[in-house]
């Protein structure tokens, strides 16, 4: 009599994914995207949005399909229309221009960016020279600088410090963009402190909780995995910083991808554990796409690495409660 051998379990590859938590959408991005969706629902298309509402291709394309029209400048918005200002914030001059064009505005600036704007206004009123650490040309930096252009000087890294001039070395404060690398910013602050020993620090962190938490998590991934993948768009400051932070923390390789199809199979050579996370503007559906792509290649064992808990939420802009059309 012959017996049928029992089915053998599939050979274990040992390949796995370490998934960061927290990752992805922060409270400010969630608020900004819901603001545009709610405006479309409430007032109907078109709803104009000045600049990308958040720096993510997928989010922008989805909103375009629903009737959002993205413009670079307020001047492109037809008079009398509704325009949403993005999460990165705008200078007061943009509000003035919108009022001149009789636009109904909805301000989706993240409250944590607004906090930095208020600090800039307060210290400018006290006649401080404000050294704003940030990346030249980034929308957030342009918006914050516009609050007090005569008092703010941009500092784009430690190399800028030697050339700075201030009016009174005892009345100088540093502020920063919300989405910078924490470690690089501290290197710039240390250089500033050496140059200006009386330098005042902001009353609380300008780099926001979401940026800090995602960087802490990606450092852990860098130590435990052979490849770190960050889901996010190239123009997303906090996503780009996460890749840099991973590399600085010793990740053998780290890449930024918008979508799963951008991953190169060659990156997986000799990789047993992949670290996966996403920037503050990337929705989790894109992470799910990457998880599926990895599972198809044997990386189907997924473990979550939790480094912080997040519970912050922001109320939608009050303008949505008004009849704008
Ligand atoms: Fe606000 Fe930070 Fe999110 Fe930017 S990354 S929208 S500052 S919470």
Cα distance between residue 220 and residue 249, in whole Å: 8
175 C-beta closer than 6 A to ligand 1: no
29 C-beta closer than 6 A to ligand 1: yes
Cα distance between residue 209 and residue 213, in whole Å: 6
CA of 107 to the centre of ligand 1 (A): 14
- Tell me the pLDDT of the chain (325 aa) as tens digits: 556 666 665 556 799 999 999 999 999 999 999 999 999 999 999 999 999 999 999 999 999 999 999 999 999 999 999 999 999 999 999 999 999 999 999 999 999 999 999 999 999 999 999 999 999 999 999 999 999 999 999 999 999 999 999 999 999 999 999 999 999 999 999 999 999 999 999 999 999 999 999 999 999 999 999 999 999 999 999 999 999 999 999 999 999 999 999 999 999 999 999 999 999 999 999 999 999 999 999 999 999 999 999 999 999 999 998 888 7
Q: Which of 111, 114, 177, 179 to mutate to test the pocket of ligand 1 (most atoms within 8 A of CB)?
A: 179
Cα distance between residue 35 and residue 47, in whole Å: 11
178 C-beta closer than 6 A to ligand 1: yes
Question: Residue 116 class from Cβ within 10 Å (0-12 exposed, 13-18 middle, 19+ buried)?
Answer: buried
User: DSSP letters of 111-179?
Assistant: HHHHHHHHHHHHHHHTT-EEEEES-TT-HHHHHHHTTSTTTEEEE-SGGGGGG---S-TTSEEEEE-TT
Residue 8: its pLDDT value, please? 62
Residue 283 has phi, psi (to 5 degrees) of -75, 155
- β-pair partners for 16: 273, 301
Q: Which of 23, 24, 28, 34 to mutate to test the pocket of ligand 1 (most atoms within 8 A of CB)?
A: 28
Q: Which two tokens stand for residue 69?
A: 């029209």
Residue 5: its pLDDT value, please? 67
What share of residues in the chain are helix, strand, coil (percent, to 5)? 40, 20, 40
Residue 323: its pLDDT value, please? 80
Q: What is the pTM of this model?
A: 0.94
Residue 262: its pLDDT value, please? 98
Strand, coil or helix: 305 = strand
Residue 225 has phi, psi (to 5 degrees) of -130, 165
Catalytic residues: 140
210 C-beta closer than 6 A to ligand 1: yes
Q: Which of 53, 110, 279 to mutate to test the pocket of ligand 1 (most atoms within 8 A of CB)?
A: 110
- β-pair partners for 176: 133
188 C-beta closer than 6 A to ligand 1: no
CA of 182 to the centre of ligand 1 (A): 14
Residue 9: its pLDDT value, please? 56
């Amino acid at each position: 009599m012959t017996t049928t051998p029992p089915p053998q379990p599939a050979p274990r590859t040992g390949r796995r994914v370490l998934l960061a938590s927290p990752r992805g959408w922060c409270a400010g991005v969630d608020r900004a995207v819901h603001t545009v969706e709610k405006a479309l629902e409430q007032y109907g298309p078109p709803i104009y949005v000045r600049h990308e509402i958040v720096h993510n291709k997928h989010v922008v394309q989805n909103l375009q399909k629903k009737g959002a029209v993205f413009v670079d400048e307020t001047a492109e918005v037809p008079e009398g229309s509704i325009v949403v200002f993005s999460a990165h914030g705008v200078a007061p001059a943009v509000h003035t221009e919108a009022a001149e064009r009789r636009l109904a505005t909805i301000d989706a600036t993240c409250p944590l960016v607004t906090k930095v704007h208020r600090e800039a206004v307060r210290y400018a009123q006290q006649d401080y020279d404000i050294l704003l650490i940030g990346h030249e040309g980034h929308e957030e930096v342009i918006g914050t600088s516009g609050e007090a252009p005569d008092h703010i000087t941009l500092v784009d890294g430690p190399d800028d410090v030697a050339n700075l001039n201030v009016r009174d070395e005892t009345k100088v404060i540093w502020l920063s963009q919300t989405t910078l690398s924490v470690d690089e910013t501290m290197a710039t602050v240390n250089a500033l402190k050496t140059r200006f020993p009386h330098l005042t620090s902001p009353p609380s962190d300008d780099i926001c909780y979401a940026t800090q938490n995602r960087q802490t998590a990606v450092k852990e991934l860098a130590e435990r995995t052979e490849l770190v993948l960050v889901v996010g768009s190239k123009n997303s400051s906090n996503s780009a910083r996460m890749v840099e932070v991973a590399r600085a923390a010793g990740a053998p390789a780290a890449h930024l991808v918008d979508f799963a199809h951008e991953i190169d199979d060659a990156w997986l050579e000799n990789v047993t554990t992949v670290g996966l996370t996403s920037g503050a503007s990337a929705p989790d559906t894109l992470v799910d796409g990457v998880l599926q792509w990895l599972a198809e290649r044997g990386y189907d064992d997924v473990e979550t690495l939790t480094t912080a808990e997040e519970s912050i939420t922001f109320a939608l802009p009050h303008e949505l409660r008004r009849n704008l059309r």
